[in-house]
Amino acid sequence: MMPWLAQAIVLLSVTAFVHVAAMALAAHSIGIPVRKVSFGTGAAIWERGKVRIGWFLLGGYVRMKDSRAELLSDSELADAFDHAPVWKQIAVPVAGAGSVLLMAMLALGHEGAEAFFGAFRQLFIGAVSPFSDAQAYLRAGKDFASSHSSIAYAGLLCAKGAAFNLLPMLGLNGLHILLPLIRGKHPRKWEDTVVRWTLLPMLFLMGSWLLAIGVFTFVGMK
């Protein structure tokens, strides 16, 4: 594994930790009980109380009190996430993506904002052209890492990560922000169908970028 890629993985793992912690703190601060906070996904390598660490550190989740995931009586619904006011349902994912964007701004200033807004276009263009445009983006990222400090590189990755998390796709903050705005306070029957359909573009996006990273690392760098 190339040093720049190893550095990116470590920095993105730290970013994921902050992202998950911010959502958990946001939920707790607005009165939504937190059932589980997982730093990383996959099988647990450490777990105590509500906190766990999964072996795959480039992810994580916050599991809150929610009638869709557990059986609750009518008297227990008041503070459940899926019965909370719309602003609370939005506040938790906004805190996650917002914390990552804030780190980008602290590290890079206005350049962090430019990297954030530019990332939306790069994510999609790179996905549809993994052997050309994505290779150029990855080369630019590697060059940035070699010519800037680790803090600056972390800021760049945070900007890209914040943009990715705001996409309206399965498991990302963007979808969990958009859905309450569309359907209001309570989940609707059509919601599960919409969420499942977002899996297809997510698989395409992730698969294409993983292919691009593999080509860049093991072919383009030779």
Whether the pLDDT of residue 222 is over 70: the answer is no
pTM passes above 0.75: yes
Reported as a single tens digit per residue, the pLDDT across 134-147 is 999 999 999 999 99
Reported as a single tens digit per residue, the pLDDT across 22-76 is 999 999 999 999 999 999 999 999 999 999 999 999 999 999 999 989 999 999 9
pLDDT number for residue 130: 97
Task: State phi, psi for 51 to the nearest 5 degrees.
Answer: -110, 135
Name the H helices within the chain.
Answer: 3-29, 86-108, 110-128, 133-147, 150-165, 173-183, 191-197, 199-215
**113 to 107, 110, 145: CA distances (angstroms):** 11, 5, 18
Q: Which residue from 33, 37, 29 is spatially nearest to 79, judged by alpha carbons?
A: 33
DSSP letter, residue 33: P
How high does pLDDT run on average in the chain? 93
pLDDT number for residue 5: 81
pLDDT number for residue 221: 54
- Return the number of other C-beta atoms located less than 10 Å from residue 59's C-beta: 17
Place of tokens 């939005």: 90
Whether the pLDDT of residue 1 is over 80: the answer is no
Q: Which two tokens stand for residue 122?
A: 């790069």
Reported as a single tens digit per residue, the pLDDT across 152-173 is 999 999 999 999 999 999 999 9
* Rounded CA separation 218/193 (Å): 38
Note down the domain range covering 216. 3-220
When pLDDT is cut at 50, 70 and 90, the band that residue 116 belongs to is very high
Domain count, the chain: 1
When pLDDT is cut at 50, 70 and 90, the band that residue 2 belongs to is low
Q: Which two tokens stand for residue 78?
A: 């008041």
Whether the pLDDT of residue 179 is over 90: the answer is yes
